[in-house]
Amino acid sequence: MGMGRDLYENYQSARRLFDMCDTIRGLCWDGPKEQLDITINSQPALFLTDLACAGALTERGIAAHGVAGFSLGEIPAACYAGLMSPPKAYEFVSHRARAMQECSEKNRGCMFAVMKLSADDVERVCATLPQAYPVNYNCRSQTVVACAESSADVLRQAVSEHGGKALPLSVSGAFHSPLMDAAAGSVAAYLEKESFEELRIPLYANVTALPYGNPKELLSRQINHPVLWQKTIENMISDGFETFIEVGPGKTLSGLIKKINENVGVYNVSDVKSLESTITAIGSGG
Q: Check whether residue 182 and residue 83 sit in a common domain.
A: yes
Q: Which of 142, 168, 194 is the last residue of a domain?
A: 168
From first to last of its 286 residues, the chain has per-residue pLDDT tens of 578 899 999 999 999 999 988 889 888 888 888 888 888 889 999 999 999 999 999 999 999 999 999 999 999 999 999 999 999 999 999 999 999 999 999 999 999 999 999 999 999 999 999 999 999 999 999 999 999 999 999 999 999 999 999 999 998 899 999 999 999 999 999 999 999 999 999 999 999 999 999 999 999 999 999 999 999 999 999 999 999 999 999 999 999 999 999 999 999 999 999 999 999 999 765 5
In a domain, 173, yes or no: no
The residue among 276, 270, 275 whose CA lies nearest residue 250 is: 270
Query: Using CA atoms, how far apart are residues 49 and 13, in angstroms rounded to an integer?
Result: 11
Cα distance between residue 284 and residue 277, in whole Å: 11
Global confidence as pTM: 0.95
Query: How many domains, the chain?
Result: 2
Same domain, 100 and 112: no
Do 212 and 276 sit in the same domain of this protein?
yes
Tell me which residue range forms the domain holding 223: 5-105+178-283
Under 8 Å CB-to-CB from 238, ≥6 apart: which residues?
A: none
Helices (H), 84-129: 86-106, 119-127
CA 286 vs CA 61, 265, 268: distances in Å: 17, 7, 13
Q: Do 178 and 226 meet the contact criterion of CB atoms below 8 Å apart?
A: no
The reply to whether 80 and 196 lie within a common domain is yes
Are residue 251 and residue 267 in the same domain, yes or no? Answer: yes
Instruction: Please tell me whether residues 263 and 182 are part of one structural domain.
Output: yes
User: Do 210 and 96 fall into the same domain?
Assistant: yes
Say if residue 163 is in the same domain as residue 185: no
Reference 207, options 183, 193, 196, 223; nearest CA is 223
